[in-house]
């Protein structure tokens, strides 16, 4: 790094005693370099580059949050700095309320501080942003492979009940041939909002319903909140009370607060014994075959007061601390208790947990959705920023309530939202019930067709999405990458924020305006094919891209190999008999991957997986595709259908592993389709 200063203290570490609580307020300040950009910090609904702004971290239930509102639900005290082509990261591992000022108070000073705890921060060297992201993931923990079904489309609403309504929903999906893997049951499935119970008039026999829904290819996810109803006829309440598992106030009273069930007490998830107990409570839901678990309101949210008062006591793994220290990790510890409990109860299968709150490292326990957003065009932009930012903050398994939780999207807004969400790893439509229907068919036939097409596209891209997830699991590589992560030496990318990369080979740019039929897209370095037209464009340029309502700007990197599968109504509807490899001609050598495993169990950790590595390159007269295979997973298909895009010549012949095949005249086309055995090692096209 040739003696370039990466980051330098301004006044560095300093502190002030905290007379009210004891301990110190801890501060650190650093000089801002000219042209320095800042990224990261989790779910902030603001522009990607954080320079000139100040933020607060204190997980907060923020129903109908606005652009720029701060703080929201999560705390990820980790940021990137980047200047002169060099990036670094700082992770301030302090769970107290913390602040980050990126030159708002004083334009050339960046500072971060917390209301207590230690000045415990990690410096992560780059120089590439991607390397910083990967090392931050090593530090805070990488995710596990999710069950594949959790990458399918998920349908939710507050709430689907009674059972008949769920059946009507399930049948409508199948009748209309709109793919869907999961139906969520929000709080009204419970008996008076008591966790781990069912309302038996609405759902008389949950196990029967769930198992019958499985025959149609649907899995059920149920919601659970941390608030346990104060009710001495309720076993969960009694058990926790008896065992001393509820949080208490400083002077010994229980922490009492109103949430959906009315008066509640709250388990102390920072206590390992409580986590174990909570994890065990899932036993019955697991026996009933509930597939996944949604942990909500875990900031923790309390109706009158927002959250717990500061004096509430927590075990904090034996440290005995106040809520000031435990608040920001409470939700993550709930998700952890759920993840560990479910994994223990159903050892052979991968758990799926969805959580609203979280702290750095929450990616180890599940997926995140961004909370109670609004059906507006502005929120489409907000969702784009939040998902990109969460992804570079260690949490790639992220998504938003497609179409907006609050309010009524029109068909056009919903279509644009779901087109973007195809490339958000967590893919769920969810909304509040009192505001009309927002299922894919709620907007009339023309929109229904467009929404179906978007969901179908998600299922076609699943092999690529799953591979991208594997890369995230193995290396901590963000699945969604802001443009600057693709080309950090290009100053054009420093402030652009709407285009994003997905995996190694795709670039997406959402349409964020009403009545738009296209937009300007900036392509980073390299050459890029328009996915719909196969036209090739030079990177480091702006390109006006047509996007009538059935399209959105989607580009493929030259030399890419993109594995696609047929449309399915749910992820394991039928064994895949053929994968189509879309191969994009390139003069420059490009490498792509295709990962496969069993999809829902842990045999991949014992070697039952396969990775195919493709290298593509060519010249004006020929092109080569090299395949290298690692691993032993047995897929259900024998052949690949290979579609070559962008050949600059009319092919007359190809050679597969030494065997030449002459092409009949009528097939000599620049988009060439050939079928080959999946174990090929090299194909040469001339």
Which spans of this chain sit near ligand GLC (rule: CB under 6 A)?
63, 158, 186-187, 223, 296, 356, 371-372, 430
Catalytic residue flag (residue 105): no
Q: Which is nearer to ligand GLC, 371 or 404 (CB)?
A: 371
Closest separation between CB of residue 233 and ligand GLC, Å? 23
Q: Which is nearer to ligand GLC, 373 or 471 (CB)?
A: 373
Catalytic residue flag (residue 498): no
**Cα-Cα-Cα-Cα dihedral of 160, 164, 169, 170, to 10°?**
120
How far apart, in whole angstroms, are the C-alpha atoms of residue 195 and residue 174?
31
CA 67 from chain centre, in angstroms, equals 20
Closest separation between CB of residue 295 and ligand GLC, Å? 11
Closest separation between CB of residue 563 and ligand GLC, Å? 33
Look at phi and psi of residue 434 and say left if phi exceeds 0, alpha if psi is from -120 to 50, else beta. Answer: alpha
Closest separation between CB of residue 686 and ligand GLC, Å? 56
SS3 222: strand
SS3 564: strand
Q: Which is nearer to ligand GLC, 372 or 504 (CB)?
A: 372
Q: Which is nearer to ligand GLC, 187 or 616 (CB)?
A: 187
> Which of the residues 299, 315, 412, 498 is marked catalytic?
299
Closest separation between CB of residue 405 and ligand GLC, Å? 6
Closest separation between CB of residue 564 and ligand GLC, Å? 32
Q: Which is nearer to ligand GLC, 165 or 208 (CB)?
A: 165
Describe the strand order of the beta sheet including 262-265 as a list of residue ranges: 228-229, 262-265, 257-259
> Which of the residues 101, 163, 268, 372 is marked catalytic?
372
Q: Which of 89, 79, 76, 80 is nearest to 43 (CA)?
A: 76
For residue 89, how many other CB atoms are within 10 A of its CB? Answer: 24
Closest separation between CB of residue 130 and ligand GLC, Å? 32
Contact 59, 71 (CB under 8 A): yes
Where does 412-474 show beta strands of DSSP type E? Answer: 428-429
> Which of the residues 36, 101, 181, 296 is marked catalytic?
296
Contact 501, 485 (CB under 8 A): yes
Query: Which residue sits closest to ligand GLC, CB atoms considered?
Result: 158
How far apart, in whole angstroms, are the C-alpha atoms of residue 474 and residue 138?
10
Q: Which is nearer to ligand GLC, 296 or 596 (CB)?
A: 296
Q: Which is nearer to ligand GLC, 92 or 260 (CB)?
A: 260
Catalytic residue flag (residue 412): no
**Cα atoms found within 13 Å of the Cα of residue 371, Cβ hemisphere only:** 25
Residue 164 CB-density burial (10 A; 0-12 exposed, 13-18 middle, 19+ buried) = exposed
Contact 55, 395 (CB under 8 A): no
Residues acting as catalytic residues: 296, 299, 372
């Amino acid at each position: 790094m040739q003696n370039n200063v990466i980051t330098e203290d301004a006044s560095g570490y300093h502190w002030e005693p905290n007379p009210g609580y004891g301990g110190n307020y801890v501060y650190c300040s650093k000089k801002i370099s000219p042209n320095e950009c800042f990224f990261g910090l989790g779910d902030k609904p603001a522009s990607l580059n954080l320079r000139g702004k100040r933020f607060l971290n204190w997980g907060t239930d923020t129903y109908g949050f606005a652009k720029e509102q701060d703080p929201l639900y999560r705390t990820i005290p980790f940021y990137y700095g980047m200047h002169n082509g060099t990036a670094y990261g700082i992770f301030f591992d302090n769970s107290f309320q913390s602040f980050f000022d990126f030159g708002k108070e004083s334009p050339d000073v960046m500072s971060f501080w917390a209301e207590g705890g230690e000045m415990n921060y990690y410096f992560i060297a780059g120089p590439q942003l991607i390397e910083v992201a990967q090392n931050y993931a090593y530090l805070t923990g990488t995710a596990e492979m999710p069950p594949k079904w959790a990458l399918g489309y998920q349908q939710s609403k507050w709430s689907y009940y009674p059972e008949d309504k769920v059946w009507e929903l399930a049948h409508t999906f199948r009748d209309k041939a709109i793919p869907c893997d999961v139906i969520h049951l929000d709080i009204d499935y419970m008996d008076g909002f008591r966790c781990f119970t069912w309302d038996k008039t609405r759902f008389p026999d949950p196990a029967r319903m769930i198992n019958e829904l499985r025959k149609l290819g649907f899995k059920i996810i149920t919601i659970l909140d941390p608030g346990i109803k104060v009710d001495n006829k309720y076993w969960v309440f009694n058990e926790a009370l008896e065992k001393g598992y509820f949080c208490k106030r400083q002077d010994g009273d229980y922490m009492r607060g109103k949430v959906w069930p009315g008066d509640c007490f709250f388990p102390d998830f920072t206590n390992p014994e409580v986590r174990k107990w909570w994890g065990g409570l899932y036993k019955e839901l697991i026996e009933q075959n509930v597939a996944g678990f949604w942990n909500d309101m875990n900031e923790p949210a309390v109706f009158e007061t927002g959250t717990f008062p500061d004096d509430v006591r927590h075990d904090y793994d034996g440290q005995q601390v106040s809520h000031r220290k435990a608040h920001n990790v409470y939700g993550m510890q709930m998700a952890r208790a759920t993840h560990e409990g479910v994994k223990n109860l159903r050892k052979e299968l991968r758990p799926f947990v969805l959580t609203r709150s979280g702290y750095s490292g929450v990616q180890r326990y599940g997926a995140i959705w961004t909370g109670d957003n609004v059906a507006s065009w502005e929120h489409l932009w907000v969702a784009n920023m939040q998902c990109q930012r969460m992804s570079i903050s260690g949490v790639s398994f992220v998504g938003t309530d497609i179409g907006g939780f609050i309010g009524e999207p029109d068909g056009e807004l919903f279509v644009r939202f779901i087109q973007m969400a195809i490339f958000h790893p967590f893919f769920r439509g969810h909304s509040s019930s009192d505001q009309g229907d927002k299922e894919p068919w709620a907007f009339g036939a023309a929109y229904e067709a467009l929404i179906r097409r978007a969901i179908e596209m998600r299922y076609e891209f699943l092999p690529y999405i799953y591979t991208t997830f594997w890369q995230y699991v193995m290396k901590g590589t963000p699945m969604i990458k802001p443009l600057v992560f693709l080309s950090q030496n290009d100053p054009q990318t420093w402030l652009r924020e709407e285009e994003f990369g997905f995996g190694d080979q795709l670039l997406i740019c959402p349409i964020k305006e009403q009545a738009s039929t296209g937009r300007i897209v900036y392509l980073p370095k390299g050459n890029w094919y328009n996915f719909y037209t196969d036209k090739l464009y030079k990177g480091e340029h702006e390109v006006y891209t047509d996007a009538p309502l059935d399209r959105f700007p989607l580009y493929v990197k030259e030399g890419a190999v993109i594995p696609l599968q047929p449309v399915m109504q749910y992820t394991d509807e039928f064994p895949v008999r053929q994968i189509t490899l879309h191969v994009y001609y390139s003069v420059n050598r490009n490498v792509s991957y295709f990962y496969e495993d069993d999809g829902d169990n842990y045999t991949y950790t014992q070697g039952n997986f396969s990775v195919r590595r493709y290298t593509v390159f060519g010249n004006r007269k020929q092109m080569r595709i090299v395949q290298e295979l690692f691993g032993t997973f047995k897929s259900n298909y024998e052949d690949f259908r290979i579609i070559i895009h962008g050949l600059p010549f009319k092919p007359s012949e190809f050679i597969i592993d030494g065997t030449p095949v002459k092409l009949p005249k009528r097939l000599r086309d620049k988009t060439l389709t050939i079928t080959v055995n999946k174990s090929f090692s090299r194909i040469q096209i001339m």
